[in-house]
Amino acid sequence: MSVFVIGYYTILIAASCLAVYFERRRVFMLLFSLTLVSFVAGIIGGVGALRTITTLAAVLSLAAGVSYAFKEFLVQIARPGLARELRTAPLTAAFGMFVIFTYAIAGIFAPWIAPHGQAEVISTSFAPPDANMLLGADQLGRDIFSRIIYGARNTVGLALAATILAFVMGAFAGLLAAVKGGWFDQFMGRFADVIMSVPSLIFALLMLSIFGTNLFVIVVVVAVIYSPRVFRLTRAVAGNVVVMDYIEAAKLRGEGDWYLIRREILPNSTAPLVAEFGLEFCFVFLLIAGLSFLGLGIQPPTADWGSMVRENATLISFGDVTPLIPAAAIALLTVAVNFVVDWMLFRSSGLKG
Amino acid sequence: MGRFSDKDVLLDIEDLRIEGYSDETWVPIIKGVDLKLHRGEVMGLIGESGAGKSTIGAAAMGYARDGTRISGGSIEFDGMELTTASEGERRALRGSRIAYVAQSAAASFNPAHKIIDQHTEAPVHYRIKKRMEAQEDAKELYERLRLPNPQEIGFRYPHQVSGGQLQRAMTAMAMSCRPDLIIFDEPTTALDVTTQIEVLAAIRDIVDQFNTAAIYITHDLAVVAQMADTIKVLLKGEEVEQASTDRMLSDPQEDYTKSLWAVRSFKRPQKARPTDGTKPIISVRGVDASYTGGDKVLDDVSFDIYPGMTVAVVGESGSGKSTTARVITGLLPPSKGDVLLNGEPLPPKYTNRTRDQLRQAQMIYQMADTALNPKVRIREIIGRPAQFYSGLKGPALKQRVDELLDLIELEPSKYYNRYPPELSGGQKQRIGIARALAAEPDFIICDEVTSALDQLVAEGILKLLDRLQRELNLAYMFITHDLATVRSIADEVVVMQNGRVVEQGPKDQMFTPPHHPYTDLLLSSVPEMDPNWLTTLLEERGVDNIGEAGSETKDGSEKTQSA
C-alpha cells in the first residue's frame, strides 16, 4: 500500500463523514459511493485506476472552480439587473460562457496569440511536438497549434455570419407571416417546407458545386438552408403574441405592420429566439465543419477545424491523437453553447417564476 | 360556533408564517395566522388579492408553492404535524384525506384524459377502491351533484363539458376518496351568475351530506355568506377578524371588514337621454354577425348610445356581448346591418376606417395582463396613442403622459418608466384606461373591466370611470355579467341572450318588475349578503331548475320562466 492509496481513502472517508455531520445528504451519497466504487476499481485496476479517478476528479473540480470564479467575475462587472440574472445561472452555464469567452479571445486575437502563421511551413510533415510546436506539425509541416487558433477565427466567424444571416431572414419572414396571415402566411410556410424537404447536406453540395466555393456563397447557402427552421419558430412564437389584446389595441389604433413587429411583437419573442440562436449556431457550425471535411467548405490554405480533421486523419492509424484535437475543439464549443442555451431556455420558459 | 366542540378539531394552524423569495431576500407573506377547523365545519377565507388566502389554503395541505417556504408555526392535521412530516407522508394525505378544488376547472383537468379516468385515479392509487367500484362511485357522485346524464358524462373529455359542469365534476373528484377536508380556491369566480348558483348549491349539498370540513377561499362576500359557518377576514397576510357568519354579517368589528361590507354602496345618479335631438354617438342598427362559416352569433342587434351616457350590456357568457363590441370596433364585419358614429355609417372593417374614426372609439379590456404589452414601458404605452393621433413629441408628449397619469390617479414620476408586470391588477387596469384616454375619444367600450379585480379595487376603477365621464363627457358601452356593477354605474341597460337583445331601457325601469323572464333569471341569480339567500332561492326555483340546467335547454328555460 503506497502513501497515495492510503491518502486517497483517508481523504474520501473523512470528507464523507464531514458531509454526514453537516447533513449534506447528496454530497455524502456522492462521496461515499465514490469510495465504494474506488474499492472495486482499486482491486481490479490497481493504483493506476485510482490515479485516473483522481485526475478526472481534479479536472472536473478545476472546471467547476474556473466556472464559479468566472461567474463571480461576470456578476461583479455586469449591470445590477443582469448581475441578478447571472447569479442564478448554474455552473454549467458559467462553464459554457467561459469556453465561449476563451474561443472569442482566441478568434479575435489569433495573429497575436498564434506563434506561427496559418499557412507557414516551418517543419517536416507530421513532425512530433517539440518546444517550438506545442502540438506538432501537420501533413505539410505547418504548426497545428497555430492552425487551431486561426481555425477559431475562420470556422467560428463563418458559422456566426451564416447564423446571423439565417436569423435575419427567417425571423423577419416569420414575423411578417404571423402579422399578415392569410395567403402570405400560407405561401411562406409552404416555401419553407420546400427548402426543408431537401436534405441539407445534399442541398449545400449542389449549391456549392453550382456557384463555386467562395466564402460569400457558403454563408448564403448555409443561411438559406437554416432560415426555414427559424421562420417556423418565429412564426409560432409570434403567433402566440399576435392574439394578445395589446396587439388588438395597437391594430385598432391603426398602427402599421412594421410598428407591430418592431415594438409589440419582437420584444415579446426575443427570449426563445435567442435560445434558438444558440442551438442553430451549433447546427450551422457542424454543417460548415462537415462541408470542410468534404472539401467544399473553406478552401486551403486557410485553417479550418473541419478540414484539419480530414487532412490529419491518417495519423489516427498510428495511434496519434492530434487529428482529434480540432474535433475536440468543435465538440467543446458545441457543448459550451448548449450549456448556455439550456440556461436561457430555462429562463424564457418562465420556470424561474 | 356552538355546533363544534374542541374534541372535533381537524385542522389546527398556529402562528403560521410563510415567506416568499423575491429580489434575493425572503419576504414575509403570512405573518402569523391561527386557524382552527372542526370536522364538518366550513370556513370562509376572504380578503383582497395578495392577502394570502390561497397561500394559507395550500399550507393547510402542508404545501408551499415554488418560491415560498413555511418559516414558522405549526400545522396540525388530525393529530399529525405537517410542517415536520416528510414529503412522502404529506403526499399520502393529499388527494385521499385533503382534497383541493382549483379556481379554473378547465385549466386543472388534463384535456387528454376522460373525466372519469381522472376521477378514479386517486382512489385507485391509494388502493381505496378498485377501478370499477370507483367508477360506480363517480357516477353516484355525479348524480348527487346533479350533473346532467350522470351515467355517461364521465366518459367525455373535459372540453366536451361546460365550465359549470366541469367545476362540479372537479368537486366530485375531490370527493372521490371521501376526504376529511376540501379546500375550495375560488371555485366559482370564473363562472356566470346563473352557473355559479348551481355550483354553489352542489358544493353546499355534498359538503353537508358527507360532513366534510372545508376551507372556502373567495373574495366575494355574498358567496361566502351562503357557504361558510365561520368567516375569517385576511389583510396582507394577517388576520383581521374571525366570527360566525351571522355575527360577521350583522356586526363586523373592524373598520377594514366594515369597508369590505360597504363596498358596492357606490351609486351614481342616473342620466336620461338628451331630448334636444342630439344624435347618438354610436348607433348599432339591425346587426347580424357570425364567425367564418359558423351560425349567427348576433341576430338583429340594435341599440343607441348617447354622448355622456353609460349603456350596460349584460348577459351570460356566449350571449354575444363581446361580439357586439367586436362589430363596433370593426374587428368582425357584420353580415347585415351597420354601425353609425355620430350619424355617419362606419366602414365595416377597421382597416378601412380613417384614423379619426379609429380615435373616437377606444376600448378597455377585461384582462389587463394581456391588454398591456409586458415589455413596453408605461410611458410608451400611454404616450404612443397621443403621439400617433396628435403627433406630440418630446417635452409636449411627456407633459401629456404626466397629465394622463395624474388623471388616473397614479404618481407620474413613480410610474413613468415602469413595466406593466411591476404593477398590481388595479394599477394595470388604470393604465389601460389612460391608454384609451390618450386618444381623446368620445366613446369607450369597457369589456368586463372590473370582473378580474377585487371588490375594493373594482370600486376604485368604477369611481374613476365615473369621474372621467363627468369631466370629459365620455360615453361608455359597459359590457358585464355583474349586475351589481350595472346597478352602480349604468344609465341604460341592454340585456342580451343567445345573440339577441331581449330587453333594453333605462336602468331604474330594468330593475323594477315586471322583467323579461331572462332578465329576471339574471337578477335573481346575483348572490345577496343574506346567508339564507341561496336556500330561499332554491326553494323558490325548485332543486332541478336552478341556473344553467334551467336555461340550457329550450324547455328548461320555459320551466324557469314559469317558476
> How far apart are the C-alpha atoms of A262 and B530, rounded to whole Å?
54
Burial of A45 (0-12, 13-18, 19+ CB in 10 A): middle
What is the structure's pLDDT at A162?
A: 92
At B96 the three-state DSSP class reads: coil
Evaluate the CA torsion angle B156, B157, B160, B162 in order and state its sign.
positive
Q: Does A180 touch chain B (CB under 8 A)?
A: no
Partner-chain contact A87 B24, CB within 8 Å: yes
Q: Does A253 touch chain B (CB under 8 A)?
A: yes
At B484 the three-state DSSP class reads: helix
Which positions in chain A touch B330 (Cβ < 8 Å)? 252
Tell me which residues of chain B have a C-beta less than 8 Å from any C-beta of chain A: 23-24, 66-67, 329-331, 350, 353, 355, 358, 363, 365, 367, 370-376, 380, 384-385, 388-389, 435, 439
B6 membership: H or E segment, kind and range? none
Mean pLDDT confidence for A187-204? 91
By residue count, chain A amounts to: 353
For residue B550, give every residue at least 6 positions away whose Cβ sits within 8 Å of its Cβ, in sequence order, or none: B194, B521, B541, B556, B557, B559, B560, B563
Position B288, amino acid: D
Q: How far is B359 from chain A (nearest CA, A)?
A: 7
Picking from B438, B323, B462, B291, the residue whose alpha carbon sits closest to that of residue B372 is B438
Partner-chain contact B331 A253, CB within 8 Å: no
Partner-chain contact B376 A252, CB within 8 Å: no
Residue A94 has pLDDT above 50, yes or no: yes
Q: pLDDT class for A221, splitting at 50, 70, 90?
A: very high
Partner-chain contact A252 B358, CB within 8 Å: yes
Copy the grid coordinates of residue B106.
378547465
Sheet of B344-345, strand order: B296-305, B282-290, B336-341, B344-345
**Contact call for residues B440 and B356 (beta carbons, < 8 A):** no
> How far apart are the C-alpha atoms of A62 and B20, rounded to whole Å?
35
Burial of B479 (0-12, 13-18, 19+ CB in 10 A): buried
Q: Does A81 touch chain B (CB under 8 A)?
A: no
Summarised one tens digit per residue, pLDDT across range A226-236 is: 999 999 999 99
> How far apart are the C-alpha atoms of A92 and A98, rounded to whole Å?
10
What is the structure's pLDDT at A231?
A: 94
- What is the β-pairing status of strands B336-341 and B282-290? antiparallel
Partner-chain contact A252 B350, CB within 8 Å: yes
For residue B376, give every residue at least 6 positions away whose Cβ sits within 8 Å of its Cβ, in sequence order, or none: A263, A264, A267, B419, B420
Nearest to A249 among B355, B371, B375 (CB): B371
Partner-chain contact B388 A254, CB within 8 Å: yes
Q: How far is B255 from chain A (nearest CA, A)?
A: 35
Q: How far is A238 from chain B (nearest CA, A)?
A: 13
Angle formed at CA B532 by CA B528 and CA B537, multiple of 5 degrees: 75
Q: Does A262 touch chain B (CB under 8 A)?
A: no
Mutate to test the interface with A, among B22, B362, B375 (most CBs of A within 10 A): B375
Percent composition of chain B: helix, strand, coil (DSSP 3-state, to 5): 40, 25, 35
What is the structure's pLDDT at A187?
A: 94
ipTM metric: 0.72
Q: How far is B95 from chain A (nearest CA, A)?
A: 25
> How far apart are the C-alpha atoms of B408 and B434, rounded to whole Å?
7
Copy the grid coordinates of residue A286.
457542424
What is the structure's pLDDT at A349?
A: 62
Partner-chain contact A249 B365, CB within 8 Å: yes
Partner-chain contact A253 B370, CB within 8 Å: no
Mutate to test the interface with A, among B69, B373, B378 (most CBs of A within 10 A): B373
Beta carbon pairs, A and B, within 8 Å: 52
Please indicate whether residue B268 or residue A98 has the higher confidence score (pLDDT). A98
Copy the grid coordinates of residue A102.
476563451
Q: Does A182 touch chain B (CB under 8 A)?
A: no
Picking from B435, B1, B448, the residue whose alpha carbon sits closest to that of residue B189 is B448
Sheet of B492-497, strand order: B361-364, B443-447, B475-480, B310-314, B492-497, B500-506
**Contact call for residues A110 and A146 (beta carbons, < 8 A):** no
> How far apart are the C-alpha atoms of B277 and B279, rounded to whole Å?
6
Cα distances from A276 to residues A74, A86, A347, B149, in angstroms, run: 23, 19, 13, 49
Summarised one tens digit per residue, pLDDT across range A111-163 is: 888 888 888 888 777 777 777 777 778 778 888 888 888 888 888 888 889 99
Q: What are phi and psi of A312, to 5 degrees?
A: -95, 5
- What is the β-pairing status of strands B336-341 and B310-314? unpaired
Picking from A116, A229, A109, A108, the residue whose alpha carbon sits closest to that of residue A167 is A229
For residue B252, give every residue at least 6 positions away whose Cβ sits within 8 Å of its Cβ, in sequence order, or none: B241, B243, B258, B261
For residue B523, give every residue at least 6 positions away whose Cβ sits within 8 Å of its Cβ, in sequence order, or none: B483, B511, B515
Summarised one tens digit per residue, pLDDT across range A181-192 is: 889 999 999 999
Domains annotated for chain B, with CATH where assigned, are 6-108+180-262 (3.40.50.300), 282-524 (3.40.50.300), 530-562 (no CATH)
Please indicate whether residue A275 or residue B265 has the higher confidence score (pLDDT). A275
* B-chain residue closest to A256, CA distance: B351
At B463 the three-state DSSP class reads: helix
Q: How far is A271 from chain B (nearest CA, A)?
A: 12
**Contact call for residues B378 and B411 (beta carbons, < 8 A):** no
Which positions in chain A touch B350 (Cβ < 8 Å)? 251-252, 254
* A-chain residue closest to B22, CA distance: A353
What is the structure's pLDDT at B543?
A: 57
Q: Using H for helix, E for strand and C for coil, what is the string for chain A?
A: CCHHHHHHHHHHHHHHHHHHHCCCHHHHHHHHHHHHHHHHHHHHHHHHHHHHHHHHHHHHHHHHHHHHHHHHHHHHHCCHHHHHHHHCCCHHHHHHHHHHHHHHHHHHCHHHHCCCCCCCECCCCCCCCCCCCCCCECCCCEEHHHHHHHHHHHHHHHHHHHHHHHHHHHHHHHHHHHHHCHHHHHHHHHHHHHHHHCCHHHHHHHHHHHHCCCHHHHHHHHHHHHHHHHHHHHHHHHHHHHCCHHHHHHHHHCCCHHHHHHHHHHHHHHHHHHHHHHHHHHHHHHHHHHHHHCCCCCCCCCCCHHHHHHHCHHHHHHCCCCCHHHHHHHHHHHHHHHHHHHHHHHHHCCCCC
> How far apart are the C-alpha atoms of B220 and B334, rounded to whole Å?
37
* A-chain residue closest to B373, CA distance: A246
Q: How far is A247 from chain B (nearest CA, A)?
A: 8
Summarised one tens digit per residue, pLDDT across range B352-372 is: 888 888 888 899 988 888 888
The tens place of each residue's pLDDT in chain B, 563 residues long, gives 456 666 678 888 888 888 887 766 788 888 888 888 888 888 888 877 777 788 888 888 888 877 788 888 888 888 788 888 788 888 888 878 888 888 777 778 888 888 888 888 888 888 888 888 888 888 888 887 778 788 888 888 887 777 778 888 888 888 888 888 888 888 877 677 777 887 788 888 888 888 888 888 887 777 888 888 888 888 887 888 888 887 877 777 777 777 777 666 677 777 777 777 778 888 888 888 887 767 788 888 888 888 888 899 988 777 888 888 889 988 888 888 888 888 888 888 888 888 888 888 899 988 888 888 888 888 889 888 888 888 888 888 888 898 888 888 888 888 888 888 888 778 888 899 999 988 889 899 998 888 777 777 888 888 888 888 888 888 999 888 777 788 888 888 898 888 888 888 888 887 777 777 787 787 777 777 777 777 777 777 765 555 544 444 333 333 333 33
> How far apart are the C-alpha atoms of A188 and A176, rounded to whole Å?
10
Mean pLDDT confidence for A280-291? 85
Which positions in chain B touch A263 (Cβ < 8 Å)? 373, 376, 380
By residue count, chain B amounts to: 563
Q: Does A353 touch chain B (CB under 8 A)?
A: yes
Which positions in chain A touch B329 (Cβ < 8 Å)? 252
Residue A269 has pLDDT above 60, yes or no: yes
Q: What are phi and psi of B345, to 5 degrees?
A: -65, 135
Domains annotated for chain A, with CATH where assigned, are 3-70 (no CATH), 106-348 (1.10.3720.10)
**Contact call for residues B296 and B286 (beta carbons, < 8 A):** no
Q: pLDDT class for A197, splitting at 50, 70, 90?
A: very high
The secondary structure of B373-390 as a DSSP string is: -TTS-HHHHHHHHHHHHH
Which positions in chain A touch B373 (Cβ < 8 Å)? 244, 246, 263-264, 267-268
**Contact call for residues A70 and A98 (beta carbons, < 8 A):** yes
Nearest to B372 among A246, A253, A255 (CB): A246
Q: How far is B76 from chain A (nearest CA, A)?
A: 26
